[in-house]
Amino acid sequence: MSPFVALAGVTHAYGGSGPPAVEGMTISVNEGEFAAIVGPSGCGKSTVMKLATGLQFPQAGKVVVAGKEVAAPVKISGMAFQNPTLLPWRTTLDNLLLPLEIVQPHRSRLRRHRDEYVARAQALLEQVGLRGMGEKFPWQLSGGMQQRASLCRALIHEPQLLMLDEPFGALDAFTREELWCVIRDLHASRKVTVILVTHDLREAVFLADRIFCMSARPGRIIAEREVHLPRPRDLEVTYTSQFIDIVHELRAHIAHARTTA
């Protein structure tokens, strides 16, 4: 099976010159897989996201998504960031509908089939525990609730690829673990390939099938680790020795990456 997302020998420098943010990056993620990227701050994790979604184009190497070389924003992806980036003048529900106002074929159907799409948005809100919050404005929600809404917005148009850039970075430990489960269930309930960028090794091991460790800038892959913990995973799994061993192993890679930087 050919990978769904593949970066091959990718080097990218912002502005086209100067020291590269990532160099000789090679990663491949299969369809339906949950991949995580971990690495020290500033190593180019967000840059990998932008390369894989066609927001940036590499100076060298090749980026292939869904069998096609990326030459423009890929349109089959949904994104969520550390900062929920909801639009404050729209209600939560209208924020969720935003991707449908852009992406075809929804864009031309939205006006006539609005009820159907609103029902879809309500169902998603319910799935992440935001039932009945659609009429509220984002600034009337807590940080964790906004982040849930932002996840819904990333999924509303049923993308094949979900890109999460430290989506839980700003949340407290309890909320974060709650949202791990939300993501886990969303991933299990639909055929979506997920790439998650995170600082949190436990988060990566709990959620991912495959973890990439990056070196400090210029970023490259220093280790790739498959996680074979059985699914569905329960939060209890994070206290097993098998889980903790994987976290330790990754920690050693990151520590090594930081000292050699």
Partner 1 sequence: MTSAVPGQPSKAVLAAAPWVFTIGFFLVWEIACRALAVSTFVLPPPSAIAKAMWEYRGPLAFHSAHTLWMTLAGFALAVVTGLLLGIALGASKLVHAGTYPLLVAFNAIPKVAVVPILVIWFGVGWAPAVLTAFLISFFPIVVNVATGLATIEPEVEDVMRALGASKMDIIAKVGVPRSLPYFFGSLKVAITLAYVGSVIAEYNASNYGIGNLMARASADFNVPLLFAALVALGVLGVIIYAAMAILERRTTGWAQRSNFAT
Q: Say whether residue 17 binds ligand ATP (CB under 6 A).
A: no
* Single residue of 29, 46, 53, 208 touching Mg ion by CB under 5 A: 46
**Structure tokens, 223:** 């280790």
Q: For ligand ATP, which is the closer residue by CB, 45 or 202?
A: 45
Among the residue ranges 52-60, 113-121, 197-205, 247-255, the one whose residues contact partner 1 (CB under 8 A): 52-60
Q: What is the largest CA-CA distance in the chain?
A: 58
Q: Say whether residue 143 binds ligand ATP (CB under 6 A).
A: no
**Nearest to 54, CA basis, from 42, 66, 43:** 66
Q: For ligand ATP, which is the closer residue by CB, 42 or 123?
A: 42
Q: Say whether residue 82 binds Mg ion (CB under 5 A).
A: no
In the bound complex, what is the minimum distance in angstroms from residue 18's beta carbon to ligand ATP?
8
Q: Say whether residue 103 binds partner 1 (CB under 8 A).
A: yes
Among the residue ranges 68-76, 169-177, 181-189, 216-224, the one whose residues contact partner 1 (CB under 8 A): 68-76
Query: Which strands make up the sheet holding 5-12, listed edge to edge?
Result: 22-29, 5-12, 60-65, 68-69
DSSP 41-69: TTSSHHHHHHHHTTSS--SEEEEEETTEE
**Structure tokens, 97:** 């509908």
Residues 79 and 153: their CA atoms lie apart, in Å, by 8
Q: For partner 1, which is the closer residue by CB, 77 or 193?
A: 77
Q: In terms of C-beta density within 10 A (0-12 exposed, 13-18 middle, 19 or more buried), how is residue 261 classed?
A: exposed
| Angle, alpha carbons 157-57-36 (nearest 5°) | 60
Q: Which residues bind partner 1 (CB under 8 A)?
A: 50, 53-55, 72-75, 77-79, 81, 83, 85, 87-89, 98-99, 101-104, 137, 139, 153, 157, 163
Q: Which residues bind ligand ATP (CB under 6 A)?
A: 14, 21, 41-47, 217
